[in-house]
Structure 1
Amino acid sequence: MRQQILDLLNRRHKALSRNDILRFLELDESSGDEFDRTLSELVEGGYVRQTKKERFELLSESGCHVGTIQVHERGFGFFIFEDGSQPDVFIPAPLINGAMNEDKVLVCLTKPFNDYGKAEGRVARVLERNTQHVVGKLDLGKRFAFVIPREKKVKQDIFVPLDQLGGARHGEIVDVEITAYPKGRNNPEGKVVEVIGQSDDSGIAIETVIHSLGLPKEFPPEVLAQAEAIPEKIPAEEIRRRNDRRSDLIVTIDGADAQDFDDAITVFKKGPNYELSVHIADVTHYVAENSPIDQEALERGTSVYFPGRVIPMLPEKLSNNMCSLRPDEDRLCLSVDMSVSPEGKVVDHRIYESIIRSSERLIYDDVSDYLEGDSSKFSGDLATMLSQANELAGILRQKRFDRGAINFGFMESEIIVDEEGYPIDVRKRESRVANQMIEEFMILANETVSEHFFHLDLPFLYRTHEKPSLEKLTDFNNFIHNFGLGIRGKLEDVRPQQLNAIIEEVVDQPHSSIISKLMLRSLKQAKYTNYMEGHFGLASKYYSHFTSPIRRYPDLQIHRIIKENLSGKLSQGRVKHYETILPEVAELSSKRERRADSAEREVDDIKMAEFMQDKIGQTYLATVSGVTGFGLFVELDNSVEGMVRISDISWEDFQFDPDKYLIKGIKNGKTLTVGDKVPVQLIRVNVEAGEITFELLEKLDEATGK
């Protein structure tokens, strides 16, 4: 009924009375109670406005819309439409109206969209609060106390009455539950619910991130009890009903420190074709729907990976033991066999339940060494299989890039920690041939499964990556014009091939990785949906996440659907059930993924700051990775990134030119922009905030050639 009312008001484009709506929907008074309740919910939810004449209209008709606000650390915000149908709306700081980051809000436009897709608005009402807890440092006075938030997007300190301190002392890091939200100029109020520790405690910065983002740590007792009660021995009848692949040469290939092996492969040639089997841990055999483990996994959404530490989605007995495809142990799997032509086309495939026994636990670097020429690493059938697997991966990779998949090409950071979790090295992580090989096989399995179930017209989860917004693409295109580059064709009809052409054009240039990173930031974030729209970055028409059910809930969810379909248990009732729950599963999984990404970024920043804190005074040759009105972002050769503030430069007055994306010296006329090499000295490190600050040295000529 909710959608019927919205659709009607959208079609009529005018305010209707209660009786008009009932009449148009052909409803009588027997439906009145449900109708009135639904209409009230739409009004309260900010979707429908009730006029003074007791008529109802869509708020969007009056320039007001429902969505989420993202607050910037400088106080302003951006409104994101609930359906993603329009570009983000800028909200000036004075018009935030007490909204906090990620709140669901009703925003009314103050400046409508212009030809460039830009608009401004004000928060008319907060509909749903996202922030219930704030983590920060307690500032205790004689008559009052405030908590100074660690999260920069929380712009106001939290007032805490002295009788709500919960025993916390001045300077401690605490978790505050908000009891009253900001109104006008009043600060939010709260009470201390947990003392996390002293601000100078070892590891306090990481614990602060975990608490502030609401990451789970310990599993609830009922979840651990259920996991412990699962028998490790696989019943004989379960083995008999599955496809037995235990005699095959099957291997896992992972990092040296990996614990949860959720995928294994085997490859061989049959005539001109390659026969690829991808075996994925059958987590759903042990995790029943709506069981304590399943509910906890859904709430966690994903495993979270920090340097030297993991917050897992599943209890260790499952993630590192019973579901992990360890060598020489029988394991239950969901498998995909794919017959691939020499041109890289899947000409036949089969999806089925299996039991496997991994023959070898291989490591990326060892396999890469062999494939790159060290023949001493492997021999016999295993060596033959790895060579054929590498041939197939090369074919798949070339085909993927030929169809337009974006090859960003920059290396990510890798932080090495000791047994205590202290960083001892930071370096760029190289994606070697074995890493790329497994990546290609997992992508192919994800595409094959996704297409198979799309054509079955069954409810399913998809990994969706939409086309970039015109606004962000325009900004990126304006930026690369400074390097003599430009996106060919109409930006509104952009295809991934056009972006790949930019990367290929600068592949050997000093600013190559910077342009790749800025391009990545201009794209939309991938998300989970219950409808298929394709994956822009991979240039894939069909894409789902199937290959990591130990660490991602959407994979576990579609395994459950696949298995019910294979066993003939996917009744109409079950189809209706999945149609009902999948939108919510997709939305929650996307939120949990974003939370995990934020946590991993913040912890990486903290660990890099820890690594650099004993190096104050040292000088480096850095690369400019960003330019802003207040300074430069610079990156060292080991991938550590920091800030050079214009206010810290005493020997020159630099001014920012936003059109040319550079800063220019007033006295000497020298310019600095992205990709330039500059000499810097480390002057400040703030571990708690994960901030690294450099000073720009005066001797620029030798480094920049300017």
Structure 2
Amino acid sequence: MVRNPPKHIPFPSKDQVLAFINEHHGKAGIREIARAFNLKNDRRAELKRLLRELEDGGRVEARRKKLHKAGTLPDVTLADITGRDRDGELLATPTEWDVDEHGPVPKIRIVTPRKARPHEVAGVGDRALLRVHEARQEDGSRDVAYNGRVIKIIDKAKTRALGIFRALPGGGGRLVPVDKKQLGKELSIPSGATKDAQDGDLIAVSVQVQRFGLPVARVEERLGSLKTERAVSIIAIHAHDIPHVFPVAVEAEAHAAKPATLEGREDWRKLALVTIDPVDAKDHDDAVHAGPDPDPDNPGGHILTVAIADVAHYVRPGSALDREAVKRGNSVYFPDRVVPMLPERISNDLCSLRPREDRAALAVRMIIGPDGRKRSHTFHRVLMRSAAKLNYEQAQMAIGGRTDDDTGPLLENVLKPLYAAYEALKRARDARGPLDLDLPERKILLKADGTVDRVVVPERLESHRLIEEFMILANVAAAETLEKARVPLIYRAHDEPSLEKTEALRKFLETLHISLPKGGVLRSEQFNRILGQTKGQDVDALVNEVVLRSQAQAEYSADNIGHFGLNLRRYAHFTSPIRRYADLVVHRGLIRAGRFGSDDLPESQDHAALAEVAAQISASERRAMKAERETKDRLIAHFLSDKIGATFEGRISGVTRAGIFIKLDHTGADGFVPARTIGNEYFRYEEDMHAMVGNSTGETYRLGDRVTVKLVEAAPVAGALRFELLSEGKIVGRAQQRPSQRRSAKSRPERGPKKRYGPRRK
């Protein structure tokens, strides 16, 4: 490959560009390719066209602003170790891999160094963070695409299983597993191994593989009765191996911690900072203040201050607290409990910005112009004293003229300046045009006994948006400061949608006569324009859902690829170090950049080390999201289990070959309608339309359609609901159907398995 080509080198061919991309795996972007071939000005535009052709042809793919050979793994990959090859070498597959986009799942051979350290020694069933590179032909079997080295074991192979105990006459019992993918079948529990478990108890067992016969289980722990809904979150905690008990050394460090003093800090205790949080919040790690800027060069401007609890003062690099925090990655929130990243002594006490108590904080002071754009900012390590603890509703009512004992004294000098600064930030936000999806979140409210009371959609208030905009601006300031100081950091990254997902969205929008331009750089305002076209129409919810599904998943990264959804060039999480490890890393970086103390980011945590941390905490975040979602599903299934036969209104939230997913209106519960129970004809899956279409009549059930369903089955342990469709589909295709061929939903017989027209699905 030409490293320093002459000035008048011919324009490179596609093969030359592909060779360069393959040689510089994960490091080749447009800038690097242009520099290698000495392409400038108008020739760069020609290069972009060539790369677009390669991407459209599926030969390369863009990932984090860099080009890769299509269907390749990133250098640092989370993988599951699945078995061994004929030579006894461990084999793994990537934990996340899209077969539809990239084809068969690649195999990775684990290469273990001769003098491997304990954390580099893996076994079958483990989940590990690997550093991978493509295998050469001479490395062995053609079936192996990559060689990998273990960086860190994330999860050891499961020797425990979770399930429901079912007692058998005469003693002993059987385990009905919660996760059937893990075990595949029930396990026998001998009479002397039940630990007095009662029928219906949720239990954790150790699985013992017999030399002959089926595996058996021994009860290790009784986790409670499923008759109480508090057991539901316990299922998720154990099923996903979420660390929930702090080791003794961690608790000891937390209890030994002493409150910070003024030493090495600025005294900000007279600044009227306030916390604004949900009414049921137990920790308060961010406080805000705003006021007019007295600078005559910034008329109508504001000085905005965001102060965040100084967790780095208490959680030092390499300490027991730090090791446990990176293992957990983040706090996990269930309707009945929180599994915190840090012990309560830290999160709910020393780092909770309580009113009228001295607290350590890392603060950013930002100068805002009247247009809402940030002109400058500075970071400070301070000792502060919160003036008040407010909730969102309280702050909003005060601005609306309904003050109370807390907000009355703060209205003129604290709350009104905050809202004035927010009005300016709104102007900047509208000009920036972040992705504006309308996806209401539901909250499950529990009774005192732990059972579901009701499901609500909390109203989105201006006070919510105020805090959100202040935090976004502070996060941007943190990323800018660390970049300028050349301190490595963990970014909050959100890539633009992949080519495949964009093309699928374009085809779908064509069915609604909405165009999405082909080619060029995608921007969030293009999606906002589409969302604006359908706002208030019948397809509004449908388009919001499909646009959401077209987006990439946000993650943590040591490389800056920007944040597509927020339409920001750089973004890092700074504002919640109590509950997110990424924020703690950013705090340590800021301490180094500002020379605020010795508890800063260690030199050993360079870019490569932070890339590993980012991959690990991204996996922890996905684990938490899955556990939280499953817990909500199980609680709702419990709530509806005594309503079999009842009818509900909802929307179609997903369409697959297997059937249709329904989301109910009031509870937000998700359930399934198997394909075999839809209608009285064969229904085929139309992927481009996100729909099931009747072969004979053209009767169509489409993503986003409103439907009436009947609940026919509820499985609380699995969190699953099964529905029967009562609504007729829309006639989209063959509208010439005779009226006599159609029957109203009311006149239809009780639905069960129907005779099929056409071949049976496999």
**TM above 0.5, one fold?**
yes
Does the 8 Å CA contact 1:679/1:700 hold for their aligned counterparts? no
Distance (Å, rounded) in 1 between the aligned partners of 2:700 and 2:596: 68
Relative distance call for 1:68 and 1:241 in structure 2 (3 A) is: closer
Deviation readout 1:581-632 (Å, 9 max, x if unpaired): 3223222221211111111111111122122223222222222222222322
Does the 8 Å CA contact 1:459/1:575 hold for their aligned counterparts? no
Distance (Å, rounded) in 1 between the aligned partners of 2:180 and 2:396: 42
Relative distance call for 1:561 and 1:160 in structure 2 (3 A) is: farther
Distance (Å, rounded) in 2 between the aligned partners of 1:83 and 1:631: 23
User: Within the alignment, does 1:470 sit opposite 2:496 as a pair?
Assistant: no
Does the 8 Å CA contact 2:106/2:144 hold for their aligned counterparts? yes
Kindly report which structure 2 residues correspond to 1:144-183, keeping only aligned pairs within 5 A, or say none. 149-151=177-179, 153-154=181-182, 156-157=184-185, 173-175=202-204
Does the 8 Å CA contact 2:195/2:219 hold for their aligned counterparts? no
Amino acid at match of 2:328: R
Q: Which moved more, 1:497-506 or 1:207-216?
A: 497-506
Partner of 1:208: 235
Amino acid at match of 2:278: G
Q: Of the candidates 278, 281, 284, which is equivalent to residue 261 of structure 1?
A: 284
Distance (Å, rounded) in 2 between the aligned partners of 1:535 and 1:699: 42
Q: Which moved more, 1:251-260 or 1:674-683?
A: 674-683
User: Within the alignment, does 1:217 sit opposite 2:240 as a pair?
Assistant: no
Partner of 2:458: 429
Q: Which runs of 5+ in 1 are unaligned?
A: 1-6, 14-59, 72-77, 110-120
Helix, strand or coil at the partner of 1:135: strand
Does the 8 Å CA contact 1:132/1:177 hold for their aligned counterparts? no
Normalised by the size of structure 1, how large is the TM-score? 0.77
Amino acid at match of 1:360: A
Partner of 1:4: none
Partner of 2:543: 515
Q: Of the candidates 502, 510, 532, which is equivalent to residue 481 of structure 1?
A: 510
Structure 1 residue 272: Cα displacement: 1.7
Deviation readout 1:153-208 (Å, 9 max, x if unpaired): 54744878979968697976554567889xxxx99968657334477452333222
Distance (Å, rounded) in 1 between the aligned partners of 2:71 and 2:659: 41
Q: Of the candidates 648, 661, 685, which is equivalent to residue 656 of structure 1?
A: 685
Relative distance call for 1:625 and 1:269 in structure 2 (3 A) is: same
Distance (Å, rounded) in 1 between the aligned partners of 2:342 and 2:537: 44
User: Within the alignment, does 1:455 sit opposite 2:475 as a pair?
Assistant: no
Kindly report which structure 2 residues correspond to 1:66-465, keeping only aligned pairs within 5 A, or say none. 88-91=102-105, 132-133=157-158, 134-136=161-163, 149-151=177-179, 153-154=181-182, 156-157=184-185, 173-175=202-204, 192=218, 194-197=220-223, 200-202=226-228, 203-232=230-259, 234=260, 238-270=261-293, 271-372=299-400, 374=402, 378-379=407-408, 381-465=410-494
Normalised by the size of structure 2, how large is the TM-score? 0.72
Does the 8 Å CA contact 2:317/2:601 hold for their aligned counterparts? no
User: Within the alignment, does 1:493 sit opposite 2:516 as a pair?
Assistant: no
Does the 8 Å CA contact 2:286/2:576 hold for their aligned counterparts? yes
CA RMSD of aligned residues (A): 4.4
Distance (Å, rounded) in 2 between the aligned partners of 1:62 and 1:423: 45
Does the 8 Å CA contact 1:621/1:703 hold for their aligned counterparts? no
Relative distance call for 1:628 and 1:367 in structure 2 (3 A) is: same
Helix, strand or coil at the partner of 2:724: strand
Amino acid at match of 1:224: E
Distance (Å, rounded) in 2 between the aligned partners of 1:12 and 1:538: 30
Amino acid at match of 2:620: R
Distance (Å, rounded) in 2 between the aligned partners of 1:470 and 1:63: 15
Deviation readout 1:72-108 (Å, 9 max, x if unpaired): xxxxxx9659999x96444499xxxx99796779999
Structure 1 residue 394: Cα displacement: 3.3
Q: Which runs of 5+ in 2 are unaligned?
A: 1-18, 26-68, 82-91, 108-122, 136-142, 294-298, 731-743, 747-762
Relative distance call for 1:220 and 1:332 in structure 2 (3 A) is: same
Distance (Å, rounded) in 2 between the aligned partners of 1:320 and 1:62: 45
Does the 8 Å CA contact 1:511/1:674 hold for their aligned counterparts? no
Does the 8 Å CA contact 2:682/2:694 hold for their aligned counterparts? yes
Relative distance call for 1:296 and 1:206 in structure 2 (3 A) is: same
Does the 8 Å CA contact 2:207/2:216 hold for their aligned counterparts? yes
Helix, strand or coil at the partner of 1:483: coil
Q: Of the candidates 705, 730, 736, which is equivalent to residue 676 of structure 1?
A: 705
Q: Of the candidates 615, 634, 637, which is equivalent to residue 609 of structure 1?
A: 637
Distance (Å, rounded) in 2 between the aligned partners of 1:371 and 1:624: 39
Distance (Å, rounded) in 2 between the aligned partners of 1:532 and 1:684: 47
Relative distance call for 1:87 and 1:209 in structure 2 (3 A) is: same
Relative distance call for 1:140 and 1:366 in structure 2 (3 A) is: closer
Distance (Å, rounded) in 2 between the aligned partners of 1:685 and 1:62: 40
Q: Of the candidates 654, 658, 679, which is equivalent to residue 626 of structure 1?
A: 654
Relative distance call for 1:572 and 1:369 in structure 2 (3 A) is: closer
Helix, strand or coil at the partner of 1:430: coil
Amino acid at match of 1:214: D
Relative distance call for 1:666 and 1:359 in structure 2 (3 A) is: same
Structure 1 residue 223: Cα displacement: 1.5
Partner of 1:553: 581
Does the 8 Å CA contact 1:108/1:123 hold for their aligned counterparts? yes
Count of residues in correspondence between the two structures: 622
Does the 8 Å CA contact 2:269/2:384 hold for their aligned counterparts? yes
Does the 8 Å CA contact 2:341/2:580 hold for their aligned counterparts? yes
